[in-house]
Amino acid sequence: MSEPRLLVPGSCEPERFDEAAEPWSATTRFRPVATAGGVPLMDIVERFGTPAYVVDEADVRRRCRAFRAALPDADIRYAAKAFLCRAMATWIREEGLGLDVCSGGELAIARSVGFPAERIVFHGNAKTPHELAEAVDYGVGRIVVDNLAEVVRLAMLVPPGHRQKVLLRVIPDIEAGACAAIRTGGESQKFGLSIASGDAAAAVARVLRQPELRLAGLHCHLGSQIHTTEPYEQAARVMVEQLAAIRDTYGIVLPELDLGGGMGIAYLESEHGLTPDDYATTVTKAVVERSAALNLPVPRLTVEPGRAISGPAGLTLYRVIAVKRTLTRTFVAVDGGMSDNPRPSLYGARYTARLIGRRSAMAAREVTLVGHHCEAGDVIAESVPLPSDIRPGDVIAVPATGAYHHSMASTYNLTGRPPVIAVAEGAARVVVRREEIDDLLRRDVGL
């Protein structure tokens, strides 16, 4: 099958698709046919149907290695909440990264593939007693304490003769992130222990009184989709100052500093993600300089990229169901929508899209790409250029859907969640199967 040629006024189609071109994955190509991981995307459509998530294994691995190369002396923990399945956990393990989990379910996936417990960090602002018990039982490397009540609750679960390493999540009071819903470093958020209120200091004292716990260091997380290095620099300085304050108060030097994640990626061709090198240069310099100024040994850094590793590796394939033209807009409706991508309705996130499967000589025009759900907010992409002869049956690819799509998918309107298809070296395989109607009915026990 042939591929589209989008003729946008005032521009020409490039001779080749640059492998580094954002927001598509490193192995995505559009000539002579659209492929990812060496697999024709239309073959995936024909074999597995639509909608379908496609994950580029080579891209995931490449991004893991980029973070390791940029921060060779740091611990890199992949933030599982962005996207996790057994295949993803296996890739992360094989690439030598750790895992940041924030639920019993994410921990269960890690355990199912034998992920090394020491390389796991367990997060959460309201971990249940059962989740804490599972984390202690598996022997996870670090548990991040997020509230004062958790200190004693956790200590009671540690077996005699053992000590559980913990980090304290503190609030640096730095606002950063694409929108208010994904900013987590300020005093107005539910996460962390406040420095200003004294809760952070109180938590330090409580942990040090518990012989079952070992305070390894401090943790913070600013938010998500952060495209500049300045907030990270500020956070690094604040956190080093807190380490120095603990030394001055208790005479102990905590060896670890976890600065979280949140590095932004590109969703549109006009955007650029925050690179591991840029992040590493800024953060390392800030930590080293502030530590020197305070006569403090440089702590071992931990960073937790999630979206920055899995986001660009994913794309979603949809089938066009209908094209509707009103006096003011053209709607292109597809067979997925907010159940497989809730980010536009939740955060006002913007996406681009591309027609695959045939060429078009028609000029592009802006359309609104919408889903099939009974909801006015079911919009996938606003003002996206697609050929003017777009029609039912066509296939659309949407890039940068590897993070917070599968993990946040729902069964709204009792729509089954799409499969996840991994591609690598010319082969495609299902790593998460499609959720069928029978799966949904099986959970409904009836009267």
Domains in the chain: how many in total? 2
pLDDT by residue (tens digit) across 86-116? 999 999 999 999 999 999 999 999 999 999 9
174 pLDDT higher than 90: no
Angle between helices 104-112 and 86-94 (to 10 degrees): 60
Residues 139 and 187 in one domain: yes
**Does the residue 8 lie in any domain?**
no
- CB atoms under 10 Å from CB of 210, counted, come to 18
Q: Which one of 12, 85, 179, 374 is the catalytic residue?
A: 374
Residues 43 and 76 in one domain: no
Question: Is pLDDT larger for residue 11 or for residue 284?
Answer: 284
Residues 326 and 281 in one domain: no
Residues 295 and 340 in one domain: no
Distances (CA, A) of 11 to 21, 130, 383, 424: 17, 58, 17, 32
409: nearest Cα among 441, 373, 384: 373
Band of the pLDDT at 176, cuts 50, 70, 90?
low
Question: Is pLDDT larger for residue 190 or for residue 80?
Answer: 80
Of 284, 307, 330, the position where a domain reaches its end is: 307
pLDDT by residue (tens digit) across 192-242? 999 999 999 999 999 999 999 999 999 999 988 999 999 999 999 999 999
Three-class DSSP labels, the chain: CCCCCCECCCCCCCCCCCCCCCCCCCCCECCCCCEECCEEHHHHHHHHCCCEEEEEHHHHHHHHHHHHHHCCCCEEEEEHHHCCCHHHHHHHHHCCCEEEECCHHHHHHHHHCCCCHHHEEECCCCCCHHHHHHHHHHCCCEEEECCCHHHHHHHCCCCCCCCEEEEEEEECCCCCCCCHHHECCCCCCCCCEECCCCHHHHHHHHHHCCCCEEEEEEECCCECCECCCHHHHHHHHHHHHHHHHHHHHHCCCCCEEECCCCECCCCCCCCCCCCHHHHHHHHHHHHHHHHHHCCCCCCEEEECCCHHHHCCCEEEEEEEEEEEECCCCEEEEECCCCCCCCHHHHHCCCCCCEEECCCCCCEEEEEEEECCCCCCCCEEEEEEEEECCCCCCCEEEEECCCCCCCCCCCCHHHCCCCCEEEEECCEEEEEECCCCHHHHHHHCCCC
Q: Which residues, including other chains, have CB under 8 Å from residue 62's CB and lie 6 or more apart?
A: 26
200: nearest Cα among 217, 183, 180, 182: 217
The neighbouring-strand residues paired with 122 are: 101, 143
* 75-79/300-303 β-pairing: parallel
- Give me the amino acid identity at 256: E
6 pLDDT higher than 50: no
The answer to whether 431 and 346 are in contact (CB under 8 A) is no
CB-based burial, 11-40: b 16+ in 10 Å, e otherwise:
eeeeeeeeeebbbbbbbbbbeeebbbbebb
Which structural domain, as residue segments, surrounds residue 412?
35-49+313-443
Provide the token pair at 320. 């066009």
**Does the residue 9 lie in any domain?**
no
1 pLDDT higher than 70: no
- What is the spatial distance between Cα 137 and Cα 134, in angstroms, rounded to a whole number? 5
- Give me the amino acid identity at 26: A
Residues 39 and 128 in one domain: no
**Does the residue 14 lie in any domain?**
no
Mean pLDDT (whole number) for 299-319:
98
Of 307, 336, 361, the position where a domain reaches its end is: 307
Residues 287 and 183 in one domain: yes
Residues 82 and 44 in one domain: no
**Does the residue 373 lie in any domain?**
yes
Active site residue 374: yes
| Percentage with pLDDT > 90 across the chain | 90
Of 251, 283, 307, the position where a domain reaches its end is: 307
CATH of the domain at 140: 3.20.20.10
Provide the token pair at 291. 């530590």
**Does the residue 16 lie in any domain?**
no
pTM, entire model: 0.92
What's the pLDDT score for residue 359? 93
**Does the residue 13 lie in any domain?**
no
**Does the residue 145 lie in any domain?**
yes
**Does the residue 434 lie in any domain?**
yes
What's the pLDDT score for residue 27? 96
Provide the token pair at 270. 């006009």
Residues 248 and 345 in one domain: no
CATH of the domain at 414: 2.40.37.10
242: nearest Cα among 294, 190, 191, 197: 294
Residues 291 and 337 in one domain: no
The answer to whether 28 and 35 are in contact (CB under 8 A) is yes
Q: What is the mean pLDDT of the chain?
A: 92
Residue with tokens 């796991």: 120
36 pLDDT higher than 70: yes
What's the pLDDT score for residue 13? 35
Residues 42 and 174 in one domain: no
138 pLDDT higher than 50: yes
Residues 330 and 265 in one domain: no
Residues 386 and 290 in one domain: no
